[in-house]
Amino acid sequence: MRYALVTGGSRGIGRAICIKLAAMGYPVVINYLGNQEAAEATKSAIEQMGGTAQLLRFDISNPQAIEEAIEMWENSHPNDYIAVLVNNAGIRRDNLMVFMQNSEWHNVIDTTLNGFFYTTRRVLKGMMTKRFGRIINITSLSGLKGMPGQCNYSAAKAALIGATKALAQEVAPRKVTVNAVAPGFIESDMTKELPKEELAKMVPMKRFGKPEEVASLVGFLAGEESSYITGEVISINGGLL
């Protein structure tokens, strides 16, 4: 059976993606870091609509934790594999470069970029052997154009785009697609402290996007109908360039 694993599925965009993939019929593995209550809420939302979901807690920046969690999952699912991986978990530690601490730099790179590497490498073989896979990396407008105060975040998200394009070419013969989705401003805990009204004025659509709008695009990329799209970065930002 084909499962979908969504990193950072407990809240925000990740939660909406879990719900979308479950509605498409995928049993969903909801990864999270520490917010058990939010992860349980995602799981119940899926179960209430008749879907299947399970929680799998691990820190995506810790390769050993990933290995242990996925191995445990595989041992209890001998006939299943992770066919869809959404690398969604991410953090912001904004600061101007001149003030940026080593920890602010490393924490963002460790989560977004190293987390992508560790998690993807671990589940890739299954997809290649089964000759079907969908890897969707949540990058950002910040990784496309760079944002002041976000050298760490822009660097990590831009690197994720490079990795998306390289990996897409490596695994295309095995019918595994690798794409990136680049949201602009989306309503979530990550953006709740930003001056929303002021920022929304910069967006041609004059509003922040909703997690469900991002999830809808991810759902398309996770399905059979997107089989000839790979190595792409698709923006979803209300026209903000």
User: Where do contacts with ligand NAP occur on this chain (CB under 6 A)?
Assistant: 7-8, 10-14, 31-35, 38, 59-61, 88-91, 111, 138, 140, 183, 185-186, 188-191
When the beta carbons of 140 and 230 are compared against ligand NAP, the nearer one is: 140
Tell the smallest beta-carbon distance from residue 10 to ligand NAP (Å): 4
Smallest separation, CB 188 to ligand NAP (Å): 3
| The pairing of beta strand 81-87 with beta strand 53-57 | unpaired
**CB of residue 131 to ligand NAP, shortest distance in Å:** 28
Closest CB to ligand NAP among residues 7, 230: 7
Nearer to ligand NAP, 165 or 174 (CB): 165
First to last CA, the chain: 40
C-alpha 11/C-alpha 42 separation (Å) is: 8
Residue 153 annotated in active site: yes
Buried b (16+ CB within 10 A) or exposed e, 180-206: bbbbbbbbbeebeeeeeeeebeebeee
Candidates 26, 32, 118, 153; catalytic one: 153
Query: Minimal distance in Å, beta carbon 201 to ligand NAP?
Result: 16
State the Cα–Cα distance between residues 19 and 141, nearest whole angstrom: 24
Burial of residue 99 (CB within 10 Å: 0-12, 13-18, 19+) is: exposed
Is the Cβ of residue 128 or residue 147 nearer to ligand NAP in the bound state? 147
Judge contact between 14 and 86, C-beta under 8 A. yes
Question: Which residues are identified as catalytic?
Answer: 153
